[in-house]
A and B are shown apart, each in its own frame.
Chain A
């Protein structure tokens, strides 16, 4: 039996977070404080038990707070190419594949690898596009990426990423949360939990989507066991940008303001009567909600953008697109949003990888490169990290299946794929890692998904081993029990 005096020990992590939030609310937020001054309980910030998250010292769970060490990146735009683009036709040229086009892959190479659709003895398939060198760095890109070629000296290409998962939903969730099973917090949640957000009138972690529906669904931006405040907020390109951000039909701004004033008056009274700090938090939430009602439409309104900028991205105002989302992502980070996760689903080319890439690159290449350029010319690239990549790679072997009506496609390939990174402390002009002559296995500088995650956190000034949250008796982290920072990638 525990002794009687132990039960006011520090609370479990989650509750401490709440308690801390509320305490700080009282210290720093003016709402309703005339009734109760709580100076004595405001003895500094506290830390979530078992974690090394810096102390909270402001009014809400998303308040900005210092990272573990000086960051290179202050914010992230993650371009998630869901469905998994073919690295062999975009980033990782393999002349040998062309030489052996149509011949079966040796069994020794495939070993026990499990594939989603193809058989292990499938034939090799030549790259579908020509590659050439670009920029001072001389980095090789396929002809499908003419826009990226123009900024190739500003990005770092990693050809040696590998993952554990070979099905879409588990692999996407793995890339985002470090676990293939839904239920863990994803990267944007960890980051905002660790360092909050600088956005005053917008969520700290935003999700945008173009293309078709996303395999991993809401688990890709779930806060898992972290408080709901760290969940990704989906911005939609049609209707309300944020669910319910518009007042209902008939409720004009004055009525909305009057309503909020009445709600606040009555909540204030109840706070005076009952004294629960939670009421003060509610009052503040309503004020923030009101501000979001104007800040979200302002964010989405591109009328202030120059034609030059619109052309740079390839944005058609009013038309939902990946390009549109890239421009919105820039506008978000300008307003202090910490983590923008921008999904484009449509890369799952089990058949006709050539036609598929033409279509998808047509939709994404210009805007991805424009984002790099635009951030650079605005001085934002140096402390904004851009990440581009899918959930796994695609096979050097061809996928064809008469019953499924597939031909000249590529299947899922977890052993090797390519991602690129730009800005935010990443070494520009770098091409890191290599695969074998077939593009099958990584042969130089393997970078596991957990390493990617560790590196992104590192650039944000967070130590992936110290950014933890205790639940179910364990200190969980984004990188599970793995992950090493990819030092070569750092500027």
Chain B
């Protein structure tokens, strides 16, 4: 058929075009347009390098790298430039380099200036390429990238500068700030009042406003340590970990769904809780780093340390049907490199994915060396030993065991069973049972199977396969969408009549297996075709005809016969009986094997979608004659059944008896009881973790042309770090653990600076280096370089304690300044770079809601646990794929803090998006703070905020049942703003209150609707206060850290 087509093509020129379009011209040794290759052996050093240096390196060297091409070193030179490889070793006519220098590319000839290369020179290059493009290996980039850029020099503890007013500084931070203000001719602002300070501190450190009582206590605290005590109390609050954890989760791109089209739910909230706990425990930042990047590689890692590796499992997973799973794993590793670079190094490492970094000293090779560290993990889920669930499971298991143990004694004895007179009831039961079992055994059709450990195993698409002690094969590692297993068996058996393929459960498989499908048809597989070839000695393998296939179980319409029907899109699967062993038997048309070594090559095609491949299997052969077929028994039982009853060991007898009892129809009632107990077993919560692959399964990382997944260059790289930074210690492993330790090494000039800068930015709304994720040459320089270094060195000296840095920052005089700003200062320093005033900025998305819940008394302060679904307007998720609903939480979960809200990537919680929360697709170092009409609409009209306003109304009325409007207004004001209203504010509120009160009384407004209550006797009173509360929750000051 294809031949016909080709013939047609040859006479239909228009049809030929598609075949060659986009492909390089075929090699034509006699291409008349090319000068002939030199006919002598070429030496790179004497013939080629001088030519490159004279004519190419100016533009294609370390400095310019035009078109992404470097010809000053082997790795980059062979990798090529932006338009692909320039050199095809062995084929100069196919090499773009030759096309360019020979003037065959009509767009441009190289070199672009000066004389073109002579035919002899082109001939030299051609000969060098034709002879294999031998380029001495030691030729590393001429000079290792280096830089005198400030951020690559290690910070040193600077001297404190002298200042104009030595009484102002409260700690060293203030020396640096004031010295700068002195130089600018500016003075610091006065200290903010205590009410402002406690609200600022509370919102800053725990993300919740202080209660009016806490404000009063602080304002009236006579202790000279009142402020420091408050700071310590807040830092010790469990809500500190929530507030600052959310910021870390932005970096981690934490979400509760997988992203892309399907965007299904995932379980990784235990990682979120780990972050909260780690911050509350003030886990030193170096350890915090190591556990998240490489917790699984620590010696004897704890469960918590493995949970921590969820940091890099927060990458997205594409579950579309027709994808190349490996392509999106590659995309995830790309994301991990970028996130690691920006989070710990403050460098835009990602820029070097496609070409050597254009601005910072990071080569493309170094990019892939970093990639290699992160490219060697499997990505399993970890079950967490939740004690309560374990207890419940143990209880249920005990019940199951009890039922199983009781089975022999419950075996029903019919009245007409023999021995009714002479035997005890138990003995009569025993005999009847034995007789029933004997009849069952007599009906079995069994065969002698010999399990064979494969002599060779291969997965077409890169899954990891290993032979276990029981000769079964366990598949792990990559889970490609489709796979083909090639399995070789060697046997001396004569006259093999069939093969048995057992598919077996395993604890590592989804829902126990036997399949690997992780998302759809979980735990299942689909064997689309099963083929056998056989050979002996040196003979060519021949296809073995399979006469028939049978199985112990199959989903309806998917029997094993579908695996030998030659149709690639049908096959055998076991949906409906996941978590149990199954077997299919393939009977040969003719016996094979002639006594000497027979080699069987089995091909297990699993070419469906959704990663439906087999997770564990075992192969056995038989030489039994007759119609070989599946017995319906587990392999062990089938083997015992072949042994005459009197020759069985007691264990074997017990085993087959137990099996019989588990299937005997007489015990159906008990079987159902067992099944329902099993079904009731609660599952352990799981979380997604990294698990380093064993050395024999480690992946090789290659440089990819222009960063494209489909264009690996074949240039393999070892894990390594950018040479512009400190070297890897010799004694560290070349794995993620080595990388993590390198990142938090005291020699790293970046990590401490980047981290303290991020903390600083969290307090002041702007970093000392404002480009939090770019400390490279294109980033903004620090406003206070010495302060940055002082903080960085102090951070390390303080044992990498983040709480210590928070304490330093918030106890500084700089932080304690009033944030009020006068005209001249706005004029001079709009962005508050110089810090001649305190910080003032809008709360982050989740905190806007937390504040409303807190002020109204609705907040449920529970820390941790699975994510929740607070109310949001109907239809937000409807636009996402499949139009999923939003299972709004009921009860206290409606009022959890914002960071526990379920994060769906393709349809994020609407109110949070409106207030600039990230969608968690990629790392977010710094949230935008926009100020939009949609935010106003949310605060005014969103059900969550309305509910808070109504609750706040109830709160003030119930807290002050006898008080007048003025007292209630002041109370509501304080609950939102912490401070007392001034006279004019109070007057405006009371005017508004009175107006609404009057309209309600006049029946113009629906009190029950406004108050959100049907208690009509209170509705009128509550309704007027609800309108007041709603206005207060909308004030700029309410949602702002002043």
Binds B, one of A109-117, A150-158, A356-364, A457-465: A109-117
Chain B residues close to A by CB (< 8 Å): 1-2, 5-6, 9, 12, 14-15, 17-19, 21-23, 82, 150, 153, 180, 183, 259-261, 263, 316, 318, 320-324, 331, 335, 342, 348, 350-351, 359-360, 526, 558, 567-571, 607-609, 766, 770-771, 773-774, 776, 778-785, 819-823, 826-827, 829-831, 833, 840-842, 873-876, 878-884, 905-908, 910, 913-914, 916, 919, 921-922, 928-938, 940-943, 946, 982, 984-985, 988-989, 992, 995-996, 999, 1004-1010, 1023, 1027, 1030-1031, 1034-1037, 1040, 1042
Q: Given A108, A233, A412, A441, which contacts B6 in the complex, CB threshold below 8 Å?
A: A108
Report B-chain residues with C-beta under 8 Å of the C-beta of A319: none
- Contacts A6-B781, A182-B259; A218 near B1005 (Cβ below 8 A): no
**Interface 0/1 of A225-247, CB less than 8 Å to B:** 00111010110101110111111
A58 CB to nearest B CB, Å? 16
Q: Given A6, A233, A255, A402, which contacts B569 in the complex, CB threshold below 8 Å?
A: A402
Closest to B946 in A: A248
- Contacts A214-B879, A258-B995, A262-B1031; A275 near B988 (Cβ below 8 A): no
Report A-chain residues with C-beta under 8 Å of the C-beta of B989: 262, 266
Q: Which 7 A-B pairs have the closest CB atoms?
A: A116-B322, A217-B906, A250-B1009, A473-B348, A289-B936, A441-B18, A169-B261
Contact assessment for B826 and A38 in the assembled complex, using a CB-CB cutoff below 8 Å: yes
**Interface 0/1 of A1-39, CB less than 8 Å to B:** 110101111011011001100110000000000001110
Report A-chain residues with C-beta under 8 Å of the C-beta of B1040: 278
Tell me the bound Cα distance from A400 to B261 in angstroms. Answer: 22
Contact assessment for B875 and A9 in the assembled complex, using a CB-CB cutoff below 8 Å: no
Tell me the bound Cα distance from A256 to B1010 in angstroms. Answer: 12
Report B-chain residues with C-beta under 8 Å of the C-beta of A285: 931-933, 935-936
- Contacts A217-B881, A275-B822; A292 near B933 (Cβ below 8 A): yes
Known: A222-B919, A259-B1030. 13 other contacts (CB 8 A): A4-B180, A36-B826, A38-B827, A182-B921, A216-B261, A217-B879, A218-B906, A219-B921, A227-B930, A229-B932, A259-B992, A278-B842, A404-B569
Say yes or no: is A328 at the interface (Cβ < 8 Å to chain B). Answer: no
Contact assessment for A14 and B928 in the assembled complex, using a CB-CB cutoff below 8 Å: yes
Q: A residues 356-409 with Cβ under 8 Å of B? A: 400-404
Contact assessment for B771 and A12 in the assembled complex, using a CB-CB cutoff below 8 Å: yes
Report B-chain residues with C-beta under 8 Å of the C-beta of A12: 770-771, 780
Report B-chain residues with C-beta under 8 Å of the C-beta of A244: 873, 934, 937-938, 940-942
Q: A residues 178-199 with Cβ under 8 Å of B? A: 181-183
Report A-chain residues with C-beta under 8 Å of the C-beta of B359: 473
Contact assessment for A228 and B840 in the assembled complex, using a CB-CB cutoff below 8 Å: no
Tell me the bound Cα distance from A117 to B5 in angstroms. Answer: 24
Say yes or no: is A269 at the interface (Cβ < 8 Å to chain B). Answer: yes
Contact assessment for A443 and B932 in the assembled complex, using a CB-CB cutoff below 8 Å: no
Contact assessment for B14 and A167 in the assembled complex, using a CB-CB cutoff below 8 Å: no
Say yes or no: is A276 at the interface (Cβ < 8 Å to chain B). Answer: yes
Contact assessment for A234 and B879 in the assembled complex, using a CB-CB cutoff below 8 Å: yes
Report B-chain residues with C-beta under 8 Å of the C-beta of A283: 1036
A399 CB to nearest B CB, Å? 10
Report A-chain residues with C-beta under 8 Å of the C-beta of B1005: 250, 252, 255
Q: Given B782, B875, B922, which contacts A7 in the complex, CB threshold below 8 Å?
A: B782
Q: A residues 430-444 with Cβ under 8 Å of B? A: 436-438, 440-443
Contact assessment for B526 and A270 in the assembled complex, using a CB-CB cutoff below 8 Å: no
Contact assessment for A168 and B906 in the assembled complex, using a CB-CB cutoff below 8 Å: no
Tell me the bound Cα distance from A403 to B880 in angstroms. Answer: 26
Q: A residues 282-308 with Cβ under 8 Å of B? A: 282-283, 285-286, 288-290, 292-293
Closest to B842 in A: A278
Report B-chain residues with C-beta under 8 Å of the C-beta of A436: 14-15, 17-18
Contact assessment for A403 and B608 in the assembled complex, using a CB-CB cutoff below 8 Å: yes
Q: A residues 73-109 with Cβ under 8 Å of B? A: 96, 103-104, 106-109
- Contacts A15-B770, A182-B921, A213-B883; A249 near B1009 (Cβ below 8 A): yes
Contact assessment for A273 and B820 in the assembled complex, using a CB-CB cutoff below 8 Å: yes
Report A-chain residues with C-beta under 8 Å of the C-beta of B938: 243-244
Chain A residues close to B by CB (< 8 Å): 1-2, 4, 6-9, 11-12, 14-15, 18-19, 22-23, 36-38, 40-41, 61, 96, 103-104, 106-109, 111, 114-117, 119, 166-170, 181-183, 203, 209, 212-219, 222, 227-229, 231, 233-234, 236, 238-240, 242-252, 254-256, 258-259, 261-263, 265-267, 269-270, 273-279, 281-283, 285-286, 288-290, 292-293, 400-404, 411-412, 436-438, 440-443, 470, 472-474, 481
Contact assessment for B880 and A217 in the assembled complex, using a CB-CB cutoff below 8 Å: yes
Contact assessment for B568 and A119 in the assembled complex, using a CB-CB cutoff below 8 Å: yes
A274 CB to nearest B CB, Å? 5
Ordered by A's residue number, 13 sampled pairs between the chains whose C-beta atoms are within 8 Å are: A2-B781, A7-B780, A7-B784, A167-B261, A181-B922, A217-B879, A228-B932, A229-B930, A242-B937, A251-B1010, A269-B984, A270-B1037, A285-B936
Contact assessment for B932 and A236 in the assembled complex, using a CB-CB cutoff below 8 Å: no
Report B-chain residues with C-beta under 8 Å of the C-beta of A117: 321-322, 609
Q: Given A255, A262, A265, which contacts B999 in the complex, CB threshold below 8 Å?
A: A255
Contact assessment for A40 and B919 in the assembled complex, using a CB-CB cutoff below 8 Å: no
Tell me the bound Cα distance from A227 to B17 in angstroms. Answer: 46
Contact assessment for B875 and A236 in the assembled complex, using a CB-CB cutoff below 8 Å: yes
Report B-chain residues with C-beta under 8 Å of the C-beta of A9: 780-781
Report A-chain residues with C-beta under 8 Å of the C-beta of B335: 181
Report A-chain residues with C-beta under 8 Å of the C-beta of B1027: 251, 255, 259
Tell me the bound Cα distance from A168 to B999 in angstroms. Answer: 55
Closest to B341 in A: A472
Q: Given A218, A233, A248, which contacts B943 in the complex, CB threshold below 8 Å?
A: A248
Contact assessment for A213 and B785 in the assembled complex, using a CB-CB cutoff below 8 Å: no
Contact assessment for A270 and B1035 in the assembled complex, using a CB-CB cutoff below 8 Å: yes
Q: Given A250, A437, A474, which contacts B1006 in the complex, CB threshold below 8 Å?
A: A250
A208 CB to nearest B CB, Å? 10
Tell me the bound Cα distance from A418 to B212 in angstroms. Answer: 65
Contact assessment for B569 and A401 in the assembled complex, using a CB-CB cutoff below 8 Å: yes
Report A-chain residues with C-beta under 8 Å of the C-beta of B916: 228
- Contacts A217-B263, A217-B879, A251-B1010; A263 near B17 (Cβ below 8 A): no
Q: Given A14, A41, A61, A267, which contacts B826 in the complex, CB threshold below 8 Å?
A: A41
A184 CB to nearest B CB, Å? 9
- Contacts A181-B921, A473-B348; A218 near B907 (Cβ below 8 A): yes
Contact assessment for A266 and B985 in the assembled complex, using a CB-CB cutoff below 8 Å: yes
- Contacts A2-B150, A23-B830, A246-B941; A114 near B21 (Cβ below 8 A): no
Tell me the bound Cα distance from A218 to B567 in angstroms. Answer: 39
Report B-chain residues with C-beta under 8 Å of the C-beta of A242: 934, 937
Contact assessment for B996 and A402 in the assembled complex, using a CB-CB cutoff below 8 Å: no
- Contacts A217-B879, A441-B18; A265 near B931 (Cβ below 8 A): no
Report A-chain residues with C-beta under 8 Å of the C-beta of B942: 243-244
Contact assessment for A4 and B183 in the assembled complex, using a CB-CB cutoff below 8 Å: yes
Tell me the bound Cα distance from A245 to B1042 in angstroms. Answer: 29
Tell me the bound Cα distance from A243 to B880 in angstroms. Answer: 16
Contact assessment for A183 and B879 in the assembled complex, using a CB-CB cutoff below 8 Å: no
Closest to B988 in A: A265
B393 CB to nearest A CB, Å? 35
Closest to B910 in A: A243
Q: Given B921, B934, B1008, which contacts A233 in the complex, CB threshold below 8 Å?
A: B934
Tell me the bound Cα distance from A144 to B782 in angstroms. Answer: 62
Tell me the bound Cα distance from A212 to B883 in angstroms. Answer: 7
Tell me the bound Cα distance from A209 to B322 in angstroms. Answer: 25
Q: Given A168, A247, A412, which contacts B261 in the complex, CB threshold below 8 Å?
A: A168
Closest to B936 in A: A289
Contact assessment for A275 and B820 in the assembled complex, using a CB-CB cutoff below 8 Å: yes
Tell me the bound Cα distance from A304 to B322 in angstroms. Answer: 47
Contact assessment for A275 and B821 in the assembled complex, using a CB-CB cutoff below 8 Å: yes
B269 CB to nearest A CB, Å? 21
Report A-chain residues with C-beta under 8 Å of the C-beta of B929: 18
Tell me the bound Cα distance from A473 to B362 in angstroms. Answer: 13
Contact assessment for B910 and A403 in the assembled complex, using a CB-CB cutoff below 8 Å: no
Contact assessment for A258 and B992 in the assembled complex, using a CB-CB cutoff below 8 Å: yes
